[in-house]
Amino acid sequence: MEFFRIRKDIPFMKHALVFNAISFITFALAVFFLFSRGLHLSVEFTGGTVMEVAYSQPAELAKVRDTVAALGYPDVQVQNFGTSRDVMIRLPVQKGVTSAQQSEQVLGALKAADPAVTLRRTEFVGPQVGEELVHGGLMALAMVVVGIVIYLAFRFEWKFGVAAIIANLHDVVIILGFFAFFQWEFSLSVLAGVLAVLGYSVNESVVIFDRIREAFRKYRKMTTHEVIDHAITSTMSRTIITHASTEAMVLSMFFFGGPSLHYFALALTIGILFGIYSSVFVAAAIAMWLGVKREDLVKPAKKDGDPNDPHAGATV
């Protein structure tokens, strides 16, 4: 399915150096903010107090969130669990305040707004749990990276595998850089979004790499950069359709999914936009600079008299 077809190839690789210079500057800024500001980790990573409260009627999450935020918890997580009357509240650690004091303070404020609210459970999530989550998240990220490299190396060529993983990690670091710069809360749902972006971005790279391989087989007189330009141009309609439909779904989560999906959708939005950029201008350019050529992807036809051909020299 195509909305349009571009007849003349766009010379993307002619400007590859400029695009990758912009990409490198963005990547460097992201790394700088990660080291200088760090991520604003959620309760799942840092530890904190988890409260479960019950209301006699369906709870108004926005009202509960505003009540708790007024106590000095601007990034509090409030969400339903089980039923619309049950609410889970995650409070970050505060210096000099115990978990019991936090829960008493919050419950008092909630009872002032609605005397019918009752406390079901309260517990402290220790930093050990946070360390395990960080370790598990990093292991998941490492396994995804290794899997992508192996898959692309077998399906195409190792140069494409290296190019794709550099481009995809570029997307991940830039997402983290945005969260570090704006100090948005980094939670498990955001980590899930980052891992989803890795898979989504590599899918776009595979489509372009597959079209590059087809072009190498079909257009034998084209140079490498002309083949890459043709491959990217021929997939632009498909790219616009795919990413626009995906972004429409992500934006619906962003605007109507509530606070629990806000940062998850935000991470996906940044990842999708930079995923398009990296697949076209980073991955393809790096593959070109690594010296990918027709012989890497297209096996040469065997000549007559080839000693490795079992039918060479046979007569009929």
Domain ranges of the chain: 12-39+129-297, 48-125
What is the structure's pLDDT at 301?
A: 55
What is the structure's pLDDT at 266?
A: 93
Q: For the structural domain made of 48-125, what CATH number should be given? A: 3.30.70.3400
CATH number 1.10.3720.10 is the correct assignment for the domain at 12-39+129-297: no
Which among 206, 243, 213 is positioned nearest to 228, based on CA atoms?
Answer: 213
Identical fold, 12-39+129-297 and 48-125: no
What is the structure's pLDDT at 19?
A: 85
- How are beta strands 77-81 and 83-92 bridged, if at all? antiparallel
The list of the chain residues with pLDDT below 70 reads 1-4, 127-130, 297-316
CA distance 228 to 226: 5
Quick one: which H or E segment has residue 118? strand 118-125
What is the structure's pLDDT at 31?
A: 95
CA distance 152 to 202: 9
Which among 105, 106, 134 is positioned nearest to 46, based on CA atoms?
Answer: 134
> How many Cβ atoms are within 10 Å of 59's Cβ, its own excluded?
21
What is the structure's pLDDT at 236?
A: 86
14, two tokens: 């002619």
Give Cα separations from 46 to 50, 58, 118, 171, 183 (angstroms). 12, 30, 27, 25, 15
Alpha helices in 156-293, H assignment, sequence order? 158-182, 188-218, 224-234, 236-256, 259-277, 284-289
Which among 37, 45, 44, 48 is positioned nearest to 94, based on CA atoms?
Answer: 48
